[in-house]
Structure formats: C-alpha cells, structure tokens
Structure 1
Amino acid sequence: MKFDTAYSLSLDDKLSIYDVRELNFDETAAYDSEQDSFLCPNDACRGAFDTGNALGTFNAKNVNYVRTPHFKNKTSTRHIEGCRYASTHKAAAGENDDEREDNFPSEWVLTRRQYPRKPAPAGTEGSLPQAHTKVPSPQATPSHGASDHTPDKTSVFAHPVECYVSNIDDKDTLKRMPLKIGDHTATYWAFFKKIEYLQDNKGLIYWGKIKAIKDYTSSFRIDFEKKVWHDKKPYSVNVYLSKKLIDNYRKRTAFLEQIKAAASSERSLYCFFYGVTPELKQVPSKKNPEQTFGVFSANIENLDHLIIREAPRVE
C-alpha cells in the first residue's frame, strides 16, 4: 500500500516522503525521521488508535537514492474499517520500490516550506507523547496535505521530477497533467525540456544526461552529453556550481557526498535544474588565452532546484 503523505507526530502535520527527506538532510533543522513516528494520514483512522500504531518507512535516508521511498504499513499497523490506507494484500519485500509516482502535484512552490515543531508537553522533553487522539491542528499548512487526499502542492523539486521520470513512458499522462510554477502553468510534458532544446523557451525545467562532472575541490561544473545547435554549429552545455553557493547550502554535507560520488561514478546520471537558462558565452581557451570558444553556460542559483540522479526510464 502506497501512502502519499503520513502524519508526523513530532511536527503535528502531514508530510510527504519528499518532505521527510528534506528534513533529514537539512543541517539547520534538528530532525531525524528515525526519532519520529508516522501515523495514518486519515484523521478518523489516526484518532481511533494510540501512537504505537505507526507506519514504517524505507530508503528515506539514503543520500544516493535511486528510487522514491515510501511510507508503508507494518505488519502490526491497524486501520479502521473502510480506511483507504489499509493494505488489501501482503506486499512482498521491496514490491513498492519500482512503483511509478502517480501523485502529481499541480503546483511546485518555489518558496521552501517551513516545518514548525510541535511544542512538547511539560516533562516530556526528548520523547514523543504516548497518546494521540486528535486531528491535525488548525495551523497545519493546508496546501501541503492537511487532508488525507493527495496534496496538490509541493515545495520539493524531487517530487515533480520523480513524476516526470517515472512516467516518461506514458506521454499521454504527462501531456494531460497540469503543473504550475510561479505564474506559469503548463503540462508536465511542456515544462520539462531536454537540454539540447533549451533555446526553444526560457523558464523551464531543463535536463540531460551528464557527460562529466568537473570537481574543482570547492566548486563543480556539470557538462552535458548533448550539444546545442546554434547558427548551424554545435555548442557544449554546462552549469557551474560556485563555492559560495555550496558553502551556504543548508544540505551541504549531503550534497557534497552525492556530487563527489556522482563525479567518480560510471553509472548513467542525469541532471535536472530550474531557475537559470544557459546562454551562449565566449570562454578563453586554456591553451591560448587570447582565443575564445563558445559554450552555453549558466551559474546555478539555488541548489534546491537542482537534482543529479539516475533516470533509466528516459533512455
């Protein structure tokens, strides 16, 4: 049984697994999902049981994740009669690993979601309450899943990317599902643009297979395999990640671990990014600084809006 969201006991709010992963890697947030308890997102169902009736998670803390992790029922998890989150069969181990993401958010919010902590009752510091029979508090953010229905918004870039990648062989769905980013609304199919066609339109989510990642110790350059044709000539494409950008990133440790592993990996990896459009620039030649050559390049401005991952379905 796949859960779109689950109720976090420590945050008194409903989280997607993408939210959980954000919190696990955020060095500015004192959060560890292993110390939290996740309960059924159905308010009526959750209120019928105590806090020991929790869900499980898997793959939620793996930095170099390949698939989207999920919440799941434990063998001991109980649900009220008629709850749509009750398992109708006993899933085999790892069965949910390869499920495509069918929870399509209709809006990707560019402002990062805030996760206010629930005040701990007096005398229970460092521990979770032992009983819970109420519905989520009114201050829970409704746009991020304050009901047990599929949330229609997300602030985590990995969510729309997973929707696109895992459904790449279902173009009809991608051309039908709407997505809003800022003031622009289009379909998933229209918003995701292969890097070699970046001149077609600005303000899209560009993506492509990585040719190489140049590790400059404190900064990185991602070179794409495909080239852009401009004035009947092929030009290389790259994006640059500055030292300042990385040093100020709230998920710096996890990001450095991932990109360094990607730089030395022999696997086929892909880069998805949003917020900048590579432009044609003249770069000095290393062999002869007086000469220049053209390249489509851009400086990434927000690491929350860049993902490096495997994407076997797009081949």
Structure 2
Amino acid sequence: MKFDTAYSLNLDEKLSIYDVRELNFDETAAYDSDKDHFLCPNDACRAAFEAGNTLSTFNAKNVNYRRTPHFKNKSGTRHIDGCRYASNHKGAAGESDDDREDHFPSEFVLTRRTYPRKMPLAGAEGQPPQDLPEIPTTRTNASVSPSDATPDKTSVFAHPVECYVSNIDDKDKLKAMPLKIGEHTATYWAFFKKIEYLQDNKGLIYWGRIKAIKDYTNSFRIDFEKKVWLDKKPYSVNVYLSKKLIDNYRKRKAFLEQIKAAASSDQPLYCFFYGVTPELKQVPSKKNPEQTFGVFSANIENLDHLIIREAPGLG
C-alpha cells in the first residue's frame, strides 16, 4: 500500500512525501530522510506501537522522478484494527501501488512551507534520539481523526504536477478535481495549459515538451517544441533562468544536477512552470544585430515553481 503522508519522528510533524523530497534537496536544512523515522500518520495507531514500527519511503531522494513518490508499509509494519493505512484495510485511500497519484491537494500555496525542527536529529547510526518521550504501547481500536487524512494544501509544486501527469489518461477525473492558486480556482484540467495556448489565459500552469536546453554555463534557456501562433505567424517559446536566480536557490546543487542531465538527455522531457506568462518580445538577430525577430519569452522568477521531468502519456 502506498500513501503520501507520514509522521516524522525527527521533526515531530506530519510530512507529505513531497515535503520529504524538498528537505532532502534543501541545502539550508540539515536533513536526511534515511536518518529519520517515519511512522503511521494516524495518531491513535502511532500511539499504540513503539517508535520502531516504521514505514519506508519510495523515490524520496532521487533528483529525477522515476515513479510517483510515496511512503509504504514495511513487511513488519503494524497498525491498529481499522486503520486506513493498514495494507489489508479494504477500501483504503491510496491502496493501489500503481504509478498514479491519488491524493489531489485542493490548493497550491505560493508561500513555501517551513519545517521547524522540534527534536534533535537521529544519530549517525540512524537510531531514534534517546530522549524521545515514550510512545504508549497499549493497543487500541481508536478511530482515525480527520487530521490523519492527507493535507488538502501543498506548497510543493511537484505535488499538483504529479497529480496531473500521472492521471493524464483520466480526463474526467482531472476535470472534476478542484485546484486553487491564489485567488483563482479552477479544475486541474483547466489550470494546466499547453504552452502553445498560453494566450488563452494568464496565471495558469503552462507546460510543454522541451525542444532544447541551452546551457550558458551560468544560466539556461529552455526552448519548447510547440510554437505560438499570432496573426497567422508561428513564434518560438522559451523561458530563461538567470545566474542570479540559480545561485540564490536553496536547492542549487540538485537543480544543476537535474538540468545538466536534462540538457544532454535523449529522453522526451517536459517543463512545467507557474508564476510568469511568456510575452512576445523582439530579440536581436545574432547574424545581424540591427534586425530583430519575435519570440514569446519569460524570465522565470521562482525555481520552486518550475519542474523539468519525464511525463509518459502526455505525448
């Protein structure tokens, strides 16, 4: 069984698997999910067992997405009777182990979540700190409280993108699931806009297949395959990532590793971004600087809101 929320023993807080990925790559946070202990998010279930009754993670530390990240039960993980996270619990949310993300956040929060550490880090051997309060071991059949459910909001851009990509073959579902960003509310299907239709509406999540990634050593330009048609003329589309933006990014190492690998990859890759809408600009020609040509372009303002990834099924 897979699910995307668990209790972090080191942080004394419930985290989504996307939060865990954020922490692993954040150079400003001393965190390593391999040294954390993840327990059942059901408060009553967690209280019924010792701290060693842990879950495992999948795709928590891989810079590139391979399959939908998640938490899962180990072979020896125990749960109280009726816990929705038990592997044999019938009708459990997210019970399938396929590559589909079933937990759709209803709001993408633009302010990044912070993770204040409330407990000391686990030791080098990955053992829980010795001064942790005892967890009651009396088994109960307490029901799951609403707070145990997957959070309705996320500040991690990868989460709504994964929902869209992994469910692309179920348009009815995407058209039924609501998503709020800022003051704008729409369905997942309406919020994700193909790059060639960027003129239809502003303030959406734009995406498209990458034609090329230009590596300027300290900055990058992402060119899209599809063109935008305006006044019966086709215009190229690109987004630019400045040196200053990248240098100040808290996940700089992971991002550079990912984009450099993407620039040399033969696999079909897609770029998703939010926060800017490419506009038609006149750019000087390299061959003749006195001449210009039109291109739809935008400078990315927040790397937290940009993803480059494989996206099987998008075509």
Q: Alpha-carbon deviations, 1:45-93, whole Å to 9, x = none?
A: 000011100011122101122222211111111111111111129xxxx
**CA deviation after TM superposition for structure 1 residue 189, in Å:** 0.6
Which deviates more, 251-260 or 67-76?
67-76
Match of 2:141 in 1: none
Q: 1:281 to 1:97 in 2, by over 3 A?
A: farther
Q: Alpha-carbon deviations, 1:6-26, whole Å to 9, x = none?
A: 000011111110000000000
Asked whether the equivalents of residues 178 and 187 of structure 1 are also in contact (C-alpha less than 8 Å), the reply is yes
Match of 2:169 in 1: 169
Q: Distance in 2 between matches of 1:201 and 1:209?
A: 19
Equivalent residues in 2 for 1:13-92 (5 A)?
13-88=13-88
Instruction: Give structure 1 stretches of 5+ with no counterpart.
Output: 90-94, 135-144
Q: Secondary structure at the match of 1:313?
A: coil
Is 1:193 the equivalent of 2:197? no
Q: Distance in 2 between matches of 1:85 and 1:208?
A: 36
Q: Distance in 2 between matches of 1:119 and 1:88?
A: 32
**CA deviation after TM superposition for structure 1 residue 96, in Å:** 6.6
Q: Distance in 2 between matches of 1:147 and 1:216?
A: 47
Asked whether the equivalents of residues 66 and 309 of structure 1 are also in contact (C-alpha less than 8 Å), the reply is no
Q: Distance in 2 between matches of 1:66 and 1:277?
A: 28
TM-score scaled to structure 1, two decimals? Answer: 0.91
**CA deviation after TM superposition for structure 1 residue 232, in Å:** 0.6
**CA deviation after TM superposition for structure 1 residue 117, in Å:** 0.4
Q: Distance in 2 between matches of 1:120 and 1:61?
A: 21
Q: Distance in 1 between matches of 2:223 and 2:146?
A: 41
> Which residue identity is paired with 2:30?
A
> Which residue identity is paired with 1:128?
P
Q: Distance in 2 between matches of 1:256 and 1:146?
A: 39
> Which residue identity is paired with 2:112?
R
Is 1:301 the equivalent of 2:315? no
Instruction: Give structure 2 stretches of 5+ with no counterpart.
Output: 90-94, 137-144
Q: Alpha-carbon deviations, 1:114-145, whole Å to 9, x = none?
A: 00101349xx87762455427xxxxxxxxxx9
Is 1:133 the equivalent of 2:124? no
Q: Secondary structure at the match of 1:238?
A: strand
**CA deviation after TM superposition for structure 1 residue 4, in Å:** 2.6
Asked whether the equivalents of residues 59 and 66 of structure 2 are also in contact (C-alpha less than 8 Å), the reply is no
Q: Distance in 1 between matches of 2:65 and 2:274?
A: 20
Q: 1:104 to 1:132 in 2, by over 3 A?
A: farther
Asked whether the equivalents of residues 208 and 272 of structure 1 are also in contact (C-alpha less than 8 Å), the reply is yes
Match of 2:279 in 1: 279
Which deviates more, 286-295 or 70-79?
70-79
Match of 2:139 in 1: none
Q: Alpha-carbon deviations, 1:99-128, whole Å to 9, x = none?
A: 31110000000000000101349xx87762
> Which residue identity is paired with 2:250?
R
Asked whether the equivalents of residues 13 and 146 of structure 1 are also in contact (C-alpha less than 8 Å), the reply is no
TM-score scaled to structure 2, two decimals? Answer: 0.91
Q: Secondary structure at the match of 1:63?
A: coil
Match of 1:138 in 2: none
Q: Distance in 2 between matches of 1:199 and 1:82?
A: 50
Asked whether the equivalents of residues 47 and 132 of structure 1 are also in contact (C-alpha less than 8 Å), the reply is no
Q: Distance in 1 between matches of 2:282 and 2:306?
A: 24
Match of 2:180 in 1: 180
**CA deviation after TM superposition for structure 1 residue 146, in Å:** 8.2
**CA deviation after TM superposition for structure 1 residue 314, in Å:** 1.1
Superposed CA RMSD in Å reads 1.9
> Which residue identity is paired with 1:67?
R
Match of 1:218 in 2: 218
Asked whether the equivalents of residues 208 and 226 of structure 1 are also in contact (C-alpha less than 8 Å), the reply is yes
Match of 1:233 in 2: 233
Asked whether the equivalents of residues 8 and 36 of structure 1 are also in contact (C-alpha less than 8 Å), the reply is yes
Q: Distance in 1 between matches of 2:236 and 2:101?
A: 32
> Which residue identity is paired with 1:133?
I
Counting matched residue pairs gives 298
